[in-house]
């Protein structure tokens, strides 16, 4: 086992509810609570703040295949950013068929970006979250 790398974003004891209630945009705040409920139901775990703006479920050690560096991170999470909701879902490639039916979104390395939940099919989003949770159990 390699040495665990120290990263800036760590699990924190701050209140997830207080963080979400402080979001000024009403739509983003409501969307964030909906995503929170979906992830909490799928993961069967309590959410934790990670750093000042990320909400994560569970803990996992990830190892970089290139550097061998290991980091402690959450299994699934999200961040309500100014521009969009950033959902951190490992291995998005496994959801290619579902993503085609999801609606308006963008993807990055392990991230699904949604401007607002009304842009996507919530049943498909919940399915993606549930499948990700099953793979992380």
What rounded mean pLDDT belongs to the chain?
A: 89
CB 121 within 8 A of CB 102: yes
Q: What is the mean pLDDT of residues 102-126?
A: 95
Residue 119: per-residue pLDDT: 98
Which of 3-7, 9-13, 38-42, 87-91 holds the top average pLDDT? Answer: 38-42
pLDDT > 80? residue 16: yes
Q: Whole-model pTM?
A: 0.87
What's the rounded Cα separation, in Å, for the pair 137 and 124? 20
| Sheet with strand 54-57: strands edge to edge | 11-12, 48-50, 54-57, 76-80, 85-89, 111-114, 106-108
What is the DSSP code (8-state) at residue 82?
S
pLDDT > 80? residue 29: yes
Structure token digits, residue 71: 């980091």
Was domain 11-136 assigned CATH 3.90.1150.200?
yes
pLDDT > 60? residue 73: yes
Residue 10: per-residue pLDDT: 67
Residue 104: per-residue pLDDT: 97
CB 132 within 8 A of CB 41: no
The domain locations on the chain are 11-136
């Amino acid at each position: 086992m390699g040495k665990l790398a120290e990263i800036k974003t760590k699990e924190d004891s701050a209140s997830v509810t207080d963080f979400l209630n402080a979001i000024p945009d009403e739509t983003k705040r409501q969307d964030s609570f909906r995503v929170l409920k979906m992830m909490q139901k799928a993961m069967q775990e309590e959410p934790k703040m990670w750093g000042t703006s990320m909400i994560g479920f569970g803990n996992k050690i990830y190892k970089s295949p290139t550097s061998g560096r290991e980091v402690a991170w959450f299994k699934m999470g999200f961040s309500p950013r100014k521009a969009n909701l950033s959902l951190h879902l490992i291995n998005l490639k496994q959801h290619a068929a579902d993503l085609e039916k999801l609606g308006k979104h963008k993807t990055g390395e392990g991230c699904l970006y949604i401007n607002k939940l009304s842009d996507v099919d919530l049943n498909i989003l919940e399915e993606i979250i549930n499948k990700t949770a099953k793979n992380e159990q």
